[in-house]
């Protein structure tokens, strides 16, 4: 058994940020990772000749921790393609094109959407996303689903469906009836306000040259050789006030401190001796991953651009509720065009029960509804498999069920003896995003360095 100042479990951005900061401060650190690669939910992969962002990819201007790290690592960025008109399919099933942020809905629906946006901005401005349970209306907002809250606010179904889309399918990737209005406000507050979520040009602003996985890959490269152990899942942690030992199939490693830099849902999969305090085990049973299938559809050319379309498409009523031009602008000589689309929560349940070919046909028919007949003929089609990956089991991130953010939230980041917990899922600003992973990593590293 080897001794370290700190053993970090998980080589996602959170774990690698912690390891980098501790190493730079002269601490001995080991990172133990279950997968045979670093990056966790970030994976930039060549799939049959097409480079794809299988996991996270976009960077927005409010994500200042991520922007600073990208700068520190010397990585470059480029803007997402957005020239041309966007597409919206409303409750009447009619396809309409539009420019700017406002969906082409009736004047009354537009006014209701504007009013709801202002109300959510107001509630988010009252919240410190690190402590959402301290919001003045926390108890009340946590007891009601976001769908019920929306129904109390307006009789306009299309306004409700669109506002619900921005937080339900598009962010928490759960149906709006299954999470609380407080969780919805947290999602908005963590991104600097609900208006940011409504603005695709803001929230999906830029991409990293070479792919966002270059962030964790570069972080791992800066650590001394041998610091990151790949392919070693931690199955057991023995701990006392003096330190903790983690056990994998290959060995055991002792740290004065151990950080579980894994999603909360995977914390409970490890055996703890002695067991974690009851509130810790209970709390994490009230947290679950959302479900979204990230779809990558590549064509011989980005044909939609010739039609004057940006590639951006939305409909709360369609199987693929949002889609964007995801062509790799950073690859010299790339002539193909790639669309990325998302199929979330109950719609994802529906397609995941189908065989692969039927599923693909349904997705392509949906895209044809947005972009026309040419969308039926891709040269490459791929579905990100996060929901079947045992080291994630869902996408994009995890969130509490109704009533549990106020009941358990204050225990989320509490240490247990020498055990610390960290991941983007328990971040304040940048919640469920890479920015939050970095913020959590920095905070835990600072806490350990102060001790």
Sequence-distant (≥ 6) Cβ neighbours of residue 188 within 8 angstroms: 120, 121, 123, 124, 167, 194, 196, 197
> Which CB, 269 or 362, lies closer to ligand FDA?
269
Q: Is 33 annotated as a binding residue?
A: yes
Looking at the chain, how many residues does it have? 451
- Contact between 33 and ligand FDA by CB under 6 A: the answer reads yes
Q: Could you tell me which stretch among 218-226, 250-258, 332-340, 393-401 binds ligand FDA (CB under 6 A)?
A: 393-401
Instruction: Name residues contacting ligand FDA, limited to 418-447 (CB under 6 A).
Output: 423-424, 432-435, 437
- Contact between 129 and ligand FDA by CB under 6 A: the answer reads no
340, 334 contact by CB (below 8 A): no
Residue with token string 């980098």: 20
Give the contact letters, 277-316, x = binds to ligand FDA (CB under 6 A), - = no: -----------------x----------------------
> Which CB, 89 or 422, lies closer to ligand FDA?
422
Smallest gap from residue 308 Cβ to ligand FDA (A)? 26
- Contact between 186 and ligand FDA by CB under 6 A: the answer reads no
Sheet with 77-79: strands ordered across: 58-59, 206-208, 77-79
318, 92 contact by CB (below 8 A): no
- Contact between 190 and ligand FDA by CB under 6 A: the answer reads no
45, 240 contact by CB (below 8 A): no
The pairing of beta strand 292-299 with beta strand 419-421: unpaired
Q: Is 44 annotated as a binding residue?
A: no
Q: Could you tell me which stretch among 9-17, 18-26, 89-97, 170-178 binds ligand FDA (CB under 6 A)?
A: 9-17
Judged by CB under 6 A, how many residues of this single chain contact ligand FDA?
40
> Which CB, 149 or 342, lies closer to ligand FDA?
342
Q: Is 234 annotated as a binding residue?
A: yes
Q: Which of 81, 289, 324, 386 binds ligand FDA (CB under 6 A)?
A: 386
Give the contact letters, 13-32, x = binds to ligand FDA (CB under 6 A), - = no: xxx----------------x
First to last CA, the chain: 24
Q: Which of 6, 34, 197, 363 binds ligand FDA (CB under 6 A)?
A: 34
- Contact between 270 and ligand FDA by CB under 6 A: the answer reads yes
Distance CA 335, CA 213 (A): 23
> Which CB, 37 or 411, lies closer to ligand FDA?
37
DSSP-assigned beta bridge partners for residue 398: 289
Distances (CA, A) of 88 to 99, 203, 241, 302: 10, 18, 57, 19
Distance CA 396, CA 43 (A): 13
CA 81 and chain centroid, separation: 21
Smallest gap from residue 358 Cβ to ligand FDA (A)? 22
Distance CA 356, CA 348 (A): 13
**Of the candidates 386, 434, 405, 432, the residue with the CA atom closest to the CA atom of residue 16:** 434
Binding residues for substrate: 342
Residues in the site for ligand FDA, rule: CB under 6 A? 9-15, 32-35, 40-42, 55-58, 233-234, 261-263, 266, 270, 294, 384, 386, 391-392, 395-397, 423-424, 432-435, 437
């Amino acid at each position: 058994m080897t001794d370290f100042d700190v053993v970090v479990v998980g080589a996602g951005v959170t774990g690698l940020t912690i390891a980098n900061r501790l190493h730079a401060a002269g601490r001995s650190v080991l990172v133990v990772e279950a997968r045979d690669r670093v990056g966790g939910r970030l994976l930039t992969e060549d799939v049959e000749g097409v480079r794809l962002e299988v996991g996270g990819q976009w960077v927005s201007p409010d994500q200042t921790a991520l922007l600073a790290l990208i700068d520190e690592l010397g990585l470059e960025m480029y803007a997402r393609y957005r020239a041309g008109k966007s597409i919206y399919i409303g409750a009447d099933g009619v396809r309409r094109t539009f420019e700017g942020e406002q969906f082409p809905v009736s004047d009354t629906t537009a006014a209701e959407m504007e009013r709801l946006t202002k109300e959510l901005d107001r509630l988010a401005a009252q919240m410190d996303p690190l402590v959402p349970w301290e919001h003045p209306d926390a108890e009340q907002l946590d007891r009601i689903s976001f769908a019920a809250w929306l129904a109390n606010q307006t009789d306009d179904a299309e306004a409700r469906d669109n506002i619900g889309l921005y937080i339900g399918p598009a962010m928490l990737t759960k149906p709006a009836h299954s999470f609380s209005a407080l969780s919805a406000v947290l999602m908005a507050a963590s991104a600097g306000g609900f208006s940011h979520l409504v603005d695709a040009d803001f929230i999906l602003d830029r991409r990293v040259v070479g792919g966002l996985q270059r962030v964790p890959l570069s972080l791992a490269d800066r650590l001394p050789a041998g610091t990151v152990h790949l392919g070693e899942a931690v199955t057991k942690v023995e701990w006392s006030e003096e330190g903790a030992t983690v056990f994998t199939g290959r060995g055991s490693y002792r740290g004065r401190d151990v950080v579980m830099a894994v999603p909360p849902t995977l914390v409970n999969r490890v055996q703890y001796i002695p067991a974690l305090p009851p509130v810790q085990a209970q709390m994490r049973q009230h947290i679950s991953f959302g479900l979204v299938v990230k779809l990558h559809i590549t064509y011989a050319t980005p044909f939609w651009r010739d039609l004057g379309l940006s590639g951006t498409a939305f409909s709360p009523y369609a199987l693929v509720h949002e889609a964007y031009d995801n062509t790799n602008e950073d690859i010299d000589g790339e002539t193909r065009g790639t669309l990325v689309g998302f199929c979330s929560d109950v719609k994802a349940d529906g397609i995941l029960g189908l065989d692969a070919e039927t599923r693909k046909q349904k997705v392509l028919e949906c895209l044809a509804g947005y972009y026309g007949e040419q969308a039926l003929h891709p040269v490459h089609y791929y579905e990100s498999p996060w929901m079947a990956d045992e080291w994630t089991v869902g996408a994009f991130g995890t969130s509490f069920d109704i009533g549990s953010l106020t009941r358990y939230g204050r225990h989320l980041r509490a240490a247990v003896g020498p055990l610390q917990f960290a991941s983007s899922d328990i971040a304040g600003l940048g919640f469920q995003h890479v920015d939050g992973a970095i913020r959590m990593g920095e905070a835990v590293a600072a806490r350990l360095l102060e001790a």
